Amino acid sequence: MGSVDHRNTGTLAAALETTPASPGDVRVDMRELEFIGLAGVRALARAAARLEDGRLLNVVELAPPISLA
């Protein structure tokens, strides 16, 4: 299991920077994630905002104790 916090959010953000070049919707599998801090959620939001109209960033397999709401 892993976590995204202030120490490694840059790694997540760097990986998400490649998403606009890929066609179709983006799927982010979170099944191995135990924790995501606010900086990680912001990285996901920035990646979603960079997508072209009509494309979605789908966060899937989020563990029950973790919520983005």
Encode pLDDT of 19-50 as tens digits. 777 789 999 999 999 889 999 999 999 999 99
How far, CA to CA in Å, does 50 sit from each of 14, 17, 32?
A: 13, 9, 25
- pTM of the prediction? 0.83
- Predicted pLDDT of residue 19: 78
Q: Tell me how far apart the alpha carbons of residues 37 and 7 are, in angstroms, rounded to a whole number.
A: 10
Q: Tell me how far apart the alpha carbons of residues 49 and 46 are, in angstroms, rounded to a whole number.
A: 5
Answer for the pair 62, 33: CB distance below 8 angstroms, yes or no.
yes
